[in-house]
Chains A and B, each alone.
Chain A
Amino acid sequence: MRDFYGVSLANPMMLGTARFPSPAVMEAAFRASGASVATVSLRREGQGGGAFRALVQRLGVPLLPNTAGCHSAAEAITTARMAREYFETDWIKLEVIGDADTLQPDPFGLLEAAETLCADGFKVFPYTTEDQVLAARLVDAGCGVLMPWGAPIGSGLGLNNIHGLRMLRAAFPDVPMVIDAGLGLPSHAARAMELGFDAILLNTAVAEADDPAAMARAFALAAQAGAAGAAAGPMTARDMAVPSTPVIGKAWL
């Protein structure tokens, strides 16, 4: 598996920490899945921030702070700098949101923030679309990882544009890529990995399942199966049937 800014992950699954019914259930989901990265945020004090920091540190995995909810490059840059000091990591999941309904990235603000943060020494994980031109600009800016969306955040729709994602994967064969957002079912995770992506990042599909820990484990197994399948070299699909049992030697009856 490709590494992420020099860090290789034992498990190609990154998991968010939001929307779980309780901290204990969140911790159980990490334990059950072996998720290798935890995403976190910074918010105004008032809901036990210190305790939450202790909890996520106990997970024993790298933290990936996000800039969720930022709608401008300036907001995202300030949030990233606050997160770097607070969480003591230069990793940042860079989100610059351009539309309140679809939560799709603002490509212009994203690029502007990525340029500033990469120059400032951050290791940027940009939440982006499957747009190849934007991807090229982000790589030029210094991003060593890309995180294209599968579908809008929290939608559970899976991979909305398989063709676009396949084209993106092929265009940047050496850039580690994480499918971030929109996954709803373990089969979506397997598909993402079969397409050659290097990891998945999800939250809602696990946190809102009836049994989050069991669902987290199901996603991890699916992601690992998809990765194993991609590494094994899949056959090429074809339109016509081809008998698998030899025709030669068949009896005349």
Chain B
Amino acid sequence: MRIELNGTPREIDAGNVAEALRACGYGSDRVATALNGVFVPFAARADTALSPGDRLEVLVAMQGG
């Protein structure tokens, strides 16, 4: 299905957030996730289903002030 990953449209074969991360090459990387603006905890990723058009944010540590 087609979702938006970090603002970019992407075609993925995944039914939930955990599968989407694997499909997008994050593997075991440490990331933080939000789906459609709502935080998805690590433990909930496999149970959080994806629908076409969903906006998935995958964030990592960055410089900040």
Taking Cβ atoms with an 8 Å cutoff, the residues of A that contact B are 16-20, 26, 39-47, 49-50, 52-53, 56, 65-66, 68, 74-75, 78, 81-83, 85-87, 153-154, 203-204
Q: Which residues of A contact B41 (CB under 8 A)?
A: 81, 85
- Decide: B59 and A42 in contact? CB cutoff 8 A: yes
User: From residue A207, how far is it (CB to closest CB) to chain B in Å?
Assistant: 8
- Decide: A56 and B34 in contact? CB cutoff 8 A: no
A236 to B20, CA, bound (A): 65
Q: Would A52 and B37 be within 8 Å (CB), given that A42-B32, A44-B7, A85-B42 are in contact?
A: no
> How many A-B residue contacts, CB cutoff 8 Å?
97
A20 to B62, CA, bound (A): 12
- Decide: A85 and B63 in contact? CB cutoff 8 A: no
- Decide: B29 and A74 in contact? CB cutoff 8 A: no
- Decide: A82 and B63 in contact? CB cutoff 8 A: no
Q: Would A74 and B37 be within 8 Å (CB), given that A44-B59, A45-B31 are in contact?
A: yes
User: From residue B30, how far is it (CB to closest CB) to chain A in Å?
Assistant: 6
Q: Which residues of B contact A42 (CB under 8 A)?
A: 32, 59-62
A19 to B62, CA, bound (A): 11
A212 to B41, CA, bound (A): 37
- Decide: B63 and A19 in contact? CB cutoff 8 A: yes
Contact with A along B20-52 (1 / 0, CB 8 A): 000000100111111001110110000000000
Q: Which residues of B contact A203 (CB under 8 A)?
A: 65
**Given A18-B63, A49-B60, 14 more pairs with CB closer than 8 A:** A26-B63, A39-B65, A40-B62, A40-B63, A42-B61, A44-B7, A45-B26, A45-B60, A50-B30, A82-B32, A85-B41, A85-B42, A86-B60, A154-B65
Residue B58 lies at the interface, judged by CB distance under 8 Å to chain A: yes
